[in-house]
Chains A and B, each alone.
Chain A
Amino acid sequence: EPEVTQTPSHQVTQMGQEVILRCVPISNHLYFYWYRQILGQKVEFLVSFYNNEISEKSEIFDDQFSVERPDGSNFTLKIRSTKLEDSAMYFCASSGDREVNTEAFFGQGTRLTVV
């Protein structure tokens, strides 16, 4: 069964450092997302990506965040200068089309710890 793959599963970084979270969405999917979840609480939308550009971003997704699909298979989230409050589980998701009844498939998440 196709799945969304995220690496690494856990990353520890020092405050102020840059991190790149990597995702391989399901190969024929067109819509990609990043979500974050702090301490097992609410799943918060960060950004959606379609046709090689950002289609929407939340207010959380400020200038320190960026996304890229560098090679047609990987989808990355970069945090330029991490803060303590960036510690969270980050989920990548993809969906096959824009129909409202199409579910999103989620990766297993990357747990980011900023120290």
Chain B
Amino acid sequence: AQKITQTQPGMFVQEKEAVTLDCTYDTSDPSYGLFWYKQPSSGEMIFLIYQGSYDQQNATEGRYSLNFQKARKSANLVISASQLGDSAMYFCAMREYSGTYKYIFGTGTRLKVLA
């Protein structure tokens, strides 16, 4: 079974509008962390934001926020006021407390911001 599921292979958004990238996860571990990474066309992986399973509030980091719905096991990334530079691949990842602390990635969503 997939631990991290990103169901949107590609998304378009108009510049200056908000966009939500979906991520659902599967774990029986009560303690876990959820992360979003951005991969621009240059290839590097850039950490954006994380959410801990015990965090009471949704994480925010500048124009990025995480819509964390624990009961639904979803951790959607919201990008507000999209910019052309936001065009990239976005990966959702999870780290569980049990095991060997590896990060498990979803298949990614390719976001294209339109001028």
Measured CB to CB, the residues of A under 8 A from B are 31, 33, 35, 40-45, 48, 50, 55-56, 89, 91, 93, 95, 98-109, 111
Q: Tell me how many residues of B have a C-beta within 8 Å of chain A.
A: 30
Bound CA span A15–B87, Å: 35
Main secondary structure of the interface of A (DSSP, over half): strand
**CB-based A-B contact count at 8 angstroms:** 74
Asked if A100 and B107 make an inter-chain contact with CB atoms under 8 angstroms apart, the answer reads no
A38 to B: closest C-beta gap in Å = 12
Residues of B within 8 A of A31 (CB): 101
B54 to A: closest C-beta gap in Å = 9
Residues of B within 8 A of A44 (CB): 105
Asked if A111 and B103 make an inter-chain contact with CB atoms under 8 angstroms apart, the answer reads no
Minimum CB distance partner of A99 in chain B = B33
